[in-house]
Amino acid sequence: MMEPNKLQSQNPPLQPSIPNPHSPRFAAIRHASRPFAIQTLALTLLLALYLLTAFAYAALAPLTTGPDELAHYEYVRFIAEHSRLPVNNDERAQAGYKSDQPPLYHLLAALPAALVDPTGPPFLKRFSDHPRRQLIERTRHAWGLYNTEDERWPYRAEILRWHTGRWVAILFGAATVAVTFFIAREVMMMRGGEDAMTRGREDAMTRESTLTASSPLRFFASSPHASRLTLPLAAAAVVAFIPRFGLTGAMLNYETTVAFFSALFLWLLLRLANKRIGEWANERIEDTASSPHASRFTLHVLLGLCAGLAILTKLSALILLPEIIIALWLIARATKTPYAPRLTPHASRLTLLALAAALAVISLWFGFVLYHFNTMAQEGLWVGLLRPLIAADSSDATTNQLLNVLTGGEAGFTGAIENLESGPPWQWAAIMFRTFWMVGIETVQPLVSVAPALALALCLLAVHGLITMTGDRRPETGDRGNTFGGAAPYYLLPTTYYRLILSLLALHLFMPFVLPLLRYAVTFSLADTAQGRHVLFLAAPAFAILLIGGIQAALNRITIRQRDREAEERQAKARKLLRRKSASAFTRFGLWLTDYISYLTPHASRLTSHLSRFAVFLPVLLLLIWTAAHLWTMTWAYLPPLPVSTLPEARAQAAQTLNISLNKFVTLTGYTSQLDPAGRTLRLDLIWQATALSPTDYLTEVTLLDDQDQPQAQWLGHAAAGRYPTRAWDVGDIVRDTVWLPVAGLAPGAYRLSLNLIPTSRLHPAEARTAPLPLAEVTLPATALRTFNSSLIFADQATAAAGYSVWQDGQALTAPREFRYRETVLVTLSPLLPNQQREVRMVGPEGGPSFAPVRELNNTALFIVGPDWSSGKYHLQVNLTSPAGGQQQVNSSTVLTVVDRWQRQFTEPPLGSRVEANFADQVKLLGYTLGANRAEPGGGIPLTLVWQGLDWLGHDYTIFTKLIKADDQTAHGGRDRLPQEGYRTLYWAPGEIVTDAFGVPVEANAPPGVYYLHVGLYQQVGQQAASLPLAQNGQPIDATAVIIGPIKVGGPPPGATLTTAKPQTEVNQPFGDAPNVTLLGYDLEGDNCQPSTVNCQLSIKLYWRSESLLPVDYTTFVHLRNATGETVAQKDQPPLNGAYPTSLWDPGEIIADTITIPLPAELPAGQYALVIGMYNYQTGQRLVIPDHPANEVKLTDVAIR
């Protein structure tokens, strides 16, 4: 009976008390004031290190390295220049395809960007500026932009504006790291009764300490210091140094901005949970849900505002709206009491309040879009409202499919997504995991064989720790777990509080997976959906806290279990010794030592816990190493920027100034020559400036001449190692062209350099010069020729005496390297033996094809990677010939690899019809395939053209196709287009085969009849179209088009067919194997040439009926033969004189064809046989006539008197 009173006296009811300066609360406050400075310093150092790495990422990464970075820049640029958002589709086209996205980040980035003067130089080199830009060698990371040396520090004009956008993103990234620190501290400190603490209630302080002491979250920290500093700092460091967060977050995009607002959202959500738990802890009897606190009202409004701002930054943050509903439901559910078992209406009202705040923010953007971009006038209310919201620019396949579903097929499309790389779910998960953590640097994945596996192990360890925490339900010792008299209420159970916080973190982590999973379920696309960055930037704080907390919990669990296991083993050993009847003094000493060690176990456990506190920094250490690997890789993995500048001061990089025009397109402003310290190569940097657009590419030829003007070394190659050909130069460009001359093995003495430019096109011969341009004189020391990189192996495995070296960028290669299109391959070989001859070839993949050097001098061979060099591995092949050894073939190992990004074709495909039409010795139309020779008005005609380039072209030609009616030569359809919808003739290589398939539209009002397609090429000159003439024997002719046909549109020509046939003489002779046509009969007309055959003619009308389609156009022949079978008169004529060719006859049609045969003068009188048949005019092959071996039919005998 007295036990309850005793318990009640030990736990007095909750009531205000007088603060005691010696109470635990004041001691805790004094203790907590000391680490505040440490926290501030630690967070400051962390942010400084993050900013250092982020700015290093931004400085090392070329422009456009980030995802969609150019599109983001164009959006920022437009806002900065116009001080507003684009308000129509034309302005959106100027602002880039990201201009249909929420603009919060772009508006913020435009503020500093507007302060930058964009007037150049320098200028950005965009792909879209003009077609010649496509001639520049591309790199993988460069999307829409070519990187030049203008991007180097100091930044100016547009490049500075671009970097200000990156710096804004970096600042938001730093803010996200800071918010993560505070979120983690909120979780680790578990401040469940903060409101009660601020009111100074001692009992509330006691309850808060009770919650913290008894919660399963004790495993998150081994000491209070760890919860306040170590674990929050580790969680923030995880976010800061995930390579994906650091690198992508340092680019110009909205990722870190949405990450910041998402982090604020999570912080407010957790504070709301803490406050809600604290309020219910202080009010354990009455249900106070009907009297909300103003602070809770404010938190709900702020929660909605943060969600709205995140959505106003990136649409993928829409997932925060359902997260609000789920999270607030979890909080309300966790704070139920026996007196209020159901969710209160007030909780629903607060949820609606948060959603209303979010919708109020995002309505600013959606209202703007609906006002300016709705298409209700064209597509109606429903479609007109949905299109600008869901699929504004029609560039995303998934949103267009969604639009198609919502509009019932009225808008969007359901077709298959092009270039879809699909894969199974496990592949999707693997790519998602990898892209969550790391970023590829060109083709290099830093530490890809080690770091992802370690990251996965840490994640699994954290999951194990979280699971063990969830399953820990052991009762706490003593009375700490029951502050109140009797059983603790449900809402004060620490496990409930812990699970609420853990549920909110897990919810925030997994909600961003919803949209990618839905898109994957619809499209199975890996490229579009398996992008870990879409999850990382929305869920980074939650992931970091769960990772660090789970690892700490796992380590603590391991420590506790190890301690318990050791204690149990020692106790078991002691009991075993005590059971022995005769225990020696040594045994008793061992028993005493065991007891003493058991006494020291708690102290050793404390030491272990201190060590485990710092073990949570193992993920941080891994990520720091991973980040350093990314930064180091970025210093060498990117292809160097193009050696091009638009800044006038770039001319000063030449040591020798010349300013000599070698032609009207380029000027040599100067040069610098330098001999390497080993004396093996001579480097020559030529500084060019473009003075006009060049119609052809030029090769730079540099020759080293001795005192006898004899060439001793030579270089030939495209400018800038082939990466920046002359046709791509813009007026004013300053280009540094580096030339390497091998000089090892040359006799010491004085030499001089000469320079020449050689055009690659026959259409643009070199301008006349009296001699190559002389340059500097150089003095060479005595240097031995060394070619010992490898040795050539004879076919019979005998070792050859010859060696070789392959050079790239002035360095002799020790391993195969990648060579780019148009790049020069310099090969040096050991000297020949007396009377020995050598033939050098570069052999392609799988034994062929092989290529001869473009230049060969002394012991040097120069190759230029041409357009017909296919991708793969190449090796040297040397044929040695000597009187003593005969001929021997030598093959090297792989010396280089070639990557063909153009994927040109040089093999002729099957042709439906061969043409061989030469257009001005520039382009040849090899042939065509007409997909159908019948079409309906308003339809189309499938056509495939097969072209071949004959030379490098300096102009861009457009293909024209006109559908011309045969009888009146009027056009009733056609199309002007670029080859392959964009593969311009400017890019074609000599000998390249270009297959171009497309459809020719037919006008809807085209009259029925026979048509022909006229196909040709023209160049746009101002407002005029200049057609390219056809050429024969190298001379232009008066024709500009190839005629293809015939084609029947609609029906036959008017009057070409009969409904019935009544010939004078019936024949009913089938023609063709099918048969194809039937000769129904004929009418014979004429006067038998009385009284004279002068100007006499014989007319016959043939009645044909089509039975099946004929594949070709046949010509009818009518022969008049004498008694000996000799043809004395004839007439060959296509039916209706070509007005209705046989290939267009449809089954059932009847055609009456009149043929008039002129008879020769003074034709002898007599009986003549009238014979007819059909033949293919192109081949002379006659149409088969059953039972007539000669494939001709005798109709009748004609008497000539």
Q: Indicate if the pLDDT at residue 259 is higher than 70.
A: yes
Q: Indicate if the pLDDT at residue 563 is higher than 80.
A: no
Side-chain half-sphere CA neighbours of 595 within 13 A: 9
Could you tell me whether strands 817-819 and 790-794 are parallel, antiparallel, or unpaired per DSSP bridges? unpaired
CB 549 within 8 A of CB 220: yes
Give the containing element (helix H, strand E) for 850. strand 850-851
Cβ-proximal residues to 1181 (8 Å cutoff; 6+ apart), any chain: 1175
**What's the angle, vertex CA 771, arms to CA 767 and CA 773, rounded to 5?**
90
Point out the least confidently predicted range of 242-246, 610-614, 1127-1131. 610-614
Query: How high is the pLDDT of residue 665?
Result: 93
CB 215 within 8 A of CB 207: no
Q: Indicate if the pLDDT at residue 922 is higher than 90.
A: yes
Q: Indicate if the pLDDT at residue 427 is higher than 60.
A: yes
CA dist 940 → 176, 936, 1054 (Å): 57, 8, 22
Q: Indicate if the pLDDT at residue 797 is higher than 70.
A: no
Structure tokens at 708: 């006898």
CB 761 within 8 A of CB 699: no
Report which of 721, 1000, 742 is spatially closest to residue 861, judged by C-alpha positions: 742
Backbone angles phi, psi at 138, to 5 degrees: -90, 155
Q: How many CB atoms lie within 10 A of CB 198?
A: 9
Q: Is the peptide bond before 909 cis (omega within 30 degrees of 0)?
A: no
Report which of 720, 666, 712 is spatially closest to residue 858, judged by C-alpha positions: 712
Q: Average the pLDDT over 450-478 and give the result.
A: 77
Could you tell me whether strands 913-919 and 872-882 are parallel, antiparallel, or unpaired per DSSP bridges? unpaired
3-class secondary-structure state, position 39: helix
Q: Which residue has the higher pLDDT, 615 or 703?
A: 703
Q: Which residue has the higher pLDDT, 22 or 735?
A: 735
Side-chain half-sphere CA neighbours of 79 within 13 A: 24
Q: Average the pLDDT over 427-438 and give the result.
A: 93
Give the containing element (helix H, strand E) for 702. strand 698-705
Q: Average the pLDDT over 112-128 and give the result.
A: 92
CB 665 within 8 A of CB 726: yes
Query: How high is the pLDDT of residue 62?
Result: 94
Please state, in angstroms and rounded to a whole number, the distance separating the CA atoms of residues 740 and 808: 9
% of the chain beyond a pLDDT of 90: 55
pLDDT digits (tens, 9 = 90+) for 699-733: 999 999 998 889 999 999 999 999 999 999 999 99
Query: How high is the pLDDT of residue 879?
Result: 87
Q: What is the CATH number of domain 644-825?
A: 2.60.40.770
| Phi and psi based region of residue 982 (left: phi greater than 0; alpha: psi -120 to 50; beta: remaining) | left
Among all chains, which residue has been given the structure tokens 């991708």? 871
Query: How high is the pLDDT of residue 544?
Result: 96
Q: What is the largest CA-CA distance in the chain?
A: 160
Q: In sequence order, what DSSP letters do the residues of 994-1020 get, joined into one string? A: EEEEEEEEB-TTPPSEEEEEEEEEEEE
CA dist 704 → 707, 746, 805, 1068 (Å): 10, 11, 20, 85
pLDDT digits (tens, 9 = 90+) for 1072-1105: 988 899 999 999 876 555 544 556 788 999 999 9
Query: How high is the pLDDT of residue 403?
Result: 65
Q: How many CB atoms lie within 10 A of CB 609?
A: 18
Q: 3-state SS of 526-548? A: HHHHCCCHHHHHHHHHHHHHHHH
Report which of 451, 452, 444, 448 is spatially closest to residue 625, judged by C-alpha positions: 451
10 Å CB burial of residue 1106 (0-12, 13-18, 19+) is buried
For residue 583, name the pLDDT band (cuts at 50, 70, 90). Answer: low
For residue 1118, name the pLDDT band (cuts at 50, 70, 90). Answer: very high
% of the chain beyond a pLDDT of 70: 79
10 Å CB burial of residue 311 (0-12, 13-18, 19+) is buried
Please state, in angstroms and rounded to a whole number, the distance separating the CA atoms of residues 95 and 73: 9
Q: Average the pLDDT over 172-196 and give the result.
A: 77
pLDDT digits (tens, 9 = 90+) for 1104-1114: 999 999 989 99
For residue 615, name the pLDDT band (cuts at 50, 70, 90). Answer: confident
Q: How many CB atoms lie within 10 A of CB 971?
A: 13
| CATH 3.40.50.300 applies to domain 1065-1200 | no
Q: Average the pLDDT over 193-216 and give the result.
A: 39
Please state, in angstroms and rounded to a whole number, the distance separating the CA atoms of residues 483 and 489: 10
Alpha helices by DSSP H, 315-416: 320-334, 345-373, 376-379, 381-390, 397-406
CB 263 within 8 A of CB 176: yes
Structure tokens at 332: 């309300």
First CA to last CA distance, the chain? 154
Point out the least confidently predicted range of 571-585, 725-739, 1014-1028. 571-585
Range from 40-44, 48-52, 406-410, 468-472 that averages highest in pLDDT: 48-52
Q: What is the CATH number of domain 913-1049?
A: 2.60.40.770
Q: Average the pLDDT over 1166-1184 and give the result.
A: 93
pLDDT digits (tens, 9 = 90+) for 1048-1071: 999 999 999 999 999 999 999 999
CB 1063 within 8 A of CB 1080: yes
Query: How high is the pLDDT of residue 368?
Result: 93
Please state, in angstroms and rounded to a whole number, the distance separating the CA atoms of residues 1163 and 892: 80
Q: In sequence order, what DSSP letters do the residues of 432-475 get, joined into one string? A: HHHHHH---BTTB-TTTTTHHHHHHHHHHHHHHHHHHHHH--PP
Alpha helices by DSSP H, 61-156: 69-82, 89-95, 104-113
Q: In sequence order, what DSSP letters do the residues of 1138-1162 get, joined into one string? A: GTS-GGGPPTT-EEEEEEEEEPPTT
Q: Which residue has the higher pLDDT, 380 or 667?
A: 667
Tell me whether domains 644-825 and 913-1049 share a fold.
yes
Cβ-proximal residues to 844 (8 Å cutoff; 6+ apart), any chain: 850, 851, 869, 870, 872, 874, 898
b/e string for 921-956 if b means 16 or more Cβ within 10 A? ebbbbbbbbbeebebeeebbbebbbbbbbbbbbbbe
Domain boundaries, the chain: 644-825, 913-1049, 1065-1200
Q: How many CB atoms lie within 10 A of CB 976?
A: 12
Query: How high is the pLDDT of residue 1088?
Result: 53
pLDDT digits (tens, 9 = 90+) for 207-230: 343 334 334 444 454 444 445 678
Q: Indicate if the pLDDT at residue 1126 is higher than 90.
A: yes
Report which of 387, 514, 442 is spatially closest to residue 100, judged by C-alpha positions: 387
For residue 176, name the pLDDT band (cuts at 50, 70, 90). Answer: very high
Give the containing element (helix H, strand E) for 1045. strand 1042-1049
Please state, in angstroms and rounded to a whole number, the distance separating the CA atoms of residues 919 and 1028: 6
pLDDT digits (tens, 9 = 90+) for 638-660: 989 999 999 999 999 999 999 99
Q: Indicate if the pLDDT at residue 139 is higher than 60.
A: yes
Q: How many CB atoms lie within 10 A of CB 222?
A: 26
Please state, in angstroms and rounded to a whole number, the distance separating the CA atoms of residues 733 and 724: 11
Q: Which residue has the higher pLDDT, 786 or 1073?
A: 1073
Q: What is the pTM of this model?
A: 0.82
Contacts 24+ apart (CB under 8 A), 375-380: 379/410, 379/411
Q: Indicate if the pLDDT at residue 284 is higher than 60.
A: no
CA dist 277 → 164, 272, 373, 996 (Å): 44, 9, 46, 70
Query: How high is the pLDDT of residue 153?
Result: 92
Q: Indicate if the pLDDT at residue 564 is higher than 80.
A: no
Query: How high is the pLDDT of residue 220?
Result: 52
Backbone angles phi, psi at 737, to 5 degrees: -110, 115
Please state, in angstroms and rounded to a whole number, the distance separating the CA atoms of residues 788 and 798: 17
Query: How high is the pLDDT of residue 609?
Result: 54
Structure tokens at 209: 């300490």
Q: What is the mean pLDDT of the chain?
A: 83
For residue 796, name the pLDDT band (cuts at 50, 70, 90). Answer: very low
Cβ-proximal residues to 1103 (8 Å cutoff; 6+ apart), any chain: 1058, 1061, 1063, 1079, 1080, 1081, 1082, 1083, 1150, 1151, 1152
pLDDT digits (tens, 9 = 90+) for 949-973: 999 998 899 999 999 999 889 999 9
Q: Average the pLDDT over 444-457 and give the result.
A: 93
Q: Which residue has the higher pLDDT, 331 or 76?
A: 76
Structure tokens at 114: 């507007």
Q: Average the pLDDT over 288-300 and give the result.
A: 64
Q: How many CB atoms lie within 10 A of CB 1165?
A: 12
For residue 888, name the pLDDT band (cuts at 50, 70, 90). Answer: confident
Query: How high is the pLDDT of residue 1132?
Result: 95
For residue 18, name the pLDDT band (cuts at 50, 70, 90). Answer: very low
Query: How high is the pLDDT of residue 334?
Result: 78
Among all chains, which residue has been given the structure tokens 């990189």? 789
